[in-house]
Amino acid sequence: MKVSLILASQSPARRAVLAAAGVVPVIHVSEVDEPAALRNAANAQGVSVEQMSAEERVSILARAKALAVYESWKLVADAAASASGDLVVGYPLEAEDEAEDENAESESSESESSESESSETASSALASDSQSDVTHNVDTAQTRDFSGVKVPTKTFDIHDFAHANKSSSDSNSVLIVGCDSMFLLDGECYGKPHTPEVAFERIKRMSGKTGELFTGHCLIDAKSGKTVCKVSRASVTFAHMSDEEIRAYVETGEPLEVAGSFTLEGFGGAFIEGIQGDPHGVLGISLPLLRQMVCDLGYAWPDLWNSRKLEGEAIKDDPACKEVPKENVHQPGDGWVMCDCGRKHWGHNGAAGVLLARRDEATGRVTHVVMQHRALWSAEGGTWGIPGGAISDGETAIEGALRESFEEANITSQDIDVVGAYCENHGNWRYTTVFAFEKPGHSVNPCAHDDESMEIKWVPIDDVPKLKLLTAMRTDWPSFRARLDLLASQR
């Protein structure tokens, strides 16, 4: 059995610890308001936050983070499960093969007609390239262009993704882990200092002393909802540090956003003289404790190993792109694929996106769609397309599309109905466009959630062809528009 692990944290240290142990997690940031979570828990107990122990606090926060991501995961899973309509799968590479055979048989008898058609096609291609300002060399292009090709298709039930997305059947279960750490010194709990001034004063008090680091862990089985919570504990002894050393350490910026204002694996490691207890807990996540929790939920730790899938994968650093922001996280499934079509595409499990439409309340006709103005560093940066990205390990194409569209564009799964999908199958790579409508009485407020986009907005449907479109979107838009209109008329 393969198990996918979601880490409810953006901590590079936690991810690095897991990855070194063979578990590359999916990163979902919880965005929990930590002070509010502690206040609410304290009020429920009739005590103040200060009266709660460090062990209680890290347990509360770890649970809050895991639950927040679990709720988000459920919204996506529920929206995917309630999807309706058809999955249309297109096979453009088969069309190319058929076209070559037909051209070979009729070359002599239809040469004049072919020359005329080729001239028109070339003119159309030049006009398209002028519009998109993109060079479509087969060795360098990352997006696909099958304009002028009649693509053979097959139609399936929308939930029949087994043939189109192998990663979803590779992983039978999903576990979500949330963590939080606090440092206890002289009876006072230290979280993240956030500012250089607070960090300096804290580290000065810690110099030459021994304190205790508590790390809370909450593990949720997403499919069953079962939860396990545990806390690791370790004593940490610090070297005597001069003011100059403390000041220099604070200036690195490293201690500002870590519990206790120190790190073991970074600049701070030189000032830690001893650890008693679980060293992994000091790094933010305890591997022995997490392994025990995984077993408590009925799984085997080796079921989480997936690092072999990342061998030879490249992070988002393709030379055709602008510099990628350093904070971008490499997720399982990320990486370039040299496709059977001769181009490079993003996503080892394929990729997917959401084409979300808004309809007129009175007529039901489609009036607007959500479009993404792609970041300049991305492939064909500066063009317009739909929000989406690589499908992660353990996801179906619909789940991947919904997750990506929320992370990039704030498309909230509870406010939309999935009504159909189109999967372009290249053999060893696939892109799935998920068609969705706003639910009646609901409103989606799209916005750029991360650095993948310059802009996200509702665009009048008649204005879409006027945009500088991504090559693939320019090619597919006429059929996508027709299908949206058909789906709207059927509902």
- The residues that are catalytic are 180
Give kind and range of the element (H or E) at residue 57. helix 54-81
Q: Is 240 helix (H, G, I), strand (E, B) or coil?
A: coil
- Residue 46 DSSP symbol: T
Query: Any idea what the Cα angle at residue 341 is, between residues 339 and 343, rounded to 5°?
Result: 60
DSSP 120-175: HHHHHHHHHHHHHT----TTT--S---TT----EEEEETT--TTT-HHHHH--EEE
Q: Are 125 and 141 in contact (CB under 8 A)?
A: no
Q: How many helices (H) and strands (E) does the chain have?
A: 12, 18
Q: Are 388 and 473 in contact (CB under 8 A)?
A: no
Give which of 411, 413, 418, 422 is closest to 436, Cα–Cα: 418
- Counting other chains too, the contacts that 104-109 makes at CB distance below 8 Å and 24 or more residues apart are none
C-alpha 127/C-alpha 135 separation (Å) is 12
C-alpha 80/C-alpha 158 separation (Å) is 10
Backbone angles phi, psi at 92, to 5 degrees: -65, -30
Token pair in block for residue 439: 């639910």
C-alpha 190/C-alpha 294 separation (Å) is 29
Give which of 114, 31, 103 is closest to 72, Cα–Cα: 31
Q: Are 255 and 262 in contact (CB under 8 A)?
A: yes
* Terminal Cα distance for the chain, rounded: 40
**DSSP bridge pairs for 110:** none
